[in-house]
Structure 1
């Protein structure tokens, strides 16, 4: 039972890290009032761009270096994801297209682009790999990772796991302690008032949407080059994780710090079906397994109901979320 519990936690933390990046990025976007449902597609773009650049570097350089591979993959993943965010921002902010429809279209677009160009890299094989990038991204912390159970549970992950936690803390500080963060929240709550106060609403919306998309893309990159062992596979797993990230934003009530424990809780709930039999000494039927895998979504619905009933202002979404801003109607 002890070994199963350790294995369960170690499976949940990397899984939770993927959706944490997606949730943090979407939180930044939604704080500006933009509801971007294109998170799965953006994560696809980031994952593929990071993988493709690392794969190309490894296959062209005489002596590829792991650190250089990290820089190339991260840069390309963030830029590709931000390009997806820019498309969404232009359509919804400048052209005032419907945010829900645009986000869903971006999800389909991102998946299609990633899988289409993936065919050229796969060359008919079932998968392609970037082993040097995988080794660099998944490198454990020396010495500390060997300190028994604590070392296994806390220090046995790649650097992006710890970067996600640090990012959540930084975003909390930014949104609650800086003028720019407070301006961003004002834009999401009441853009007309923010505009009257001299805040450039369009600039804040564009920047938050593009930067948020870049953060989401890191989640897709982490999935491919660390979690999936550096292998690009044209499966729908990234899409499922993207929707979990959107659910996590609601679960955490738009607070970055809550995304840390919320993401790991989602990870543990998602993998519960695999470890519950060994933990409790029972055998589960296949239909019970499917029901157990629904737990993250069920918990999100329960939280949404509770938050709606309590009606605390600090737990509500930005007041102007999902609505286009028409300055001439101010």
Structure 2
């Protein structure tokens, strides 16, 4: 009896080479990331053996007495990133929607170029701008927030906010100012990701919404935003990763302090990246191990955020919830 012949189409050589190269690049990235994590973990072993869990619960950093801990530093890192994201995401979302949906074609090209140019500006330029210009202007906003919203703990400042001659130094070099500057670096990256996704929204669904009588905002609300949900989440998480690891701007602006507090308007704070940058050159072998252990914590923070972002984006892929 005749038997069906199994068809095994030959894959072109070019396709096989391309697949091998792409697979190798993916494996290489995983190996590099794993190697970085293993290196940091190995270097952190001496610190964790001596200090144990106190390294994660201690808020002081006194190398001369071996009192080393990252509690206040980790909280400062999260506060700077949170302030940056709360400012950057709404601005980036509005910018991306305007460029992709409302801006004329000539203006759109200019804005895209400016957005890309902002992303290419070195962080030290943003830090100098924040230190010499923004800091002297934004302390008035900080004082206004502390005077009118001090009933909320995170807007409180330990000073007399109603005094005729108020202490400006209490509002300088704060986590809030640092977060505003970092948000300026996060906005271009986040807006670029969102804009690319919004521009890819299906033309047919846009035209169908318009044909049913929808306004331009109705098209944005019912087609563009649901289609770009994954891009919004992905851009936000990418910006959060940038905010967590920012170093130069933070080191230029924020005044180092090892206090566990949730008052971003008040002077003082610290981040893991700033601590490593400022203490790396003068550290003993044990202190260097502690800094690398802090770097391991920052690495795990960033890795966790990216894993969560990938999971969320995969579950809410662009276009999955588009309804007209």
TM-score > 0.5, shorter chain as reference: no
| Normalised TM-score (structure 1) | 0.33
**Which of the two has higher C-alpha Rg?**
2
| Normalised TM-score (structure 2) | 0.34
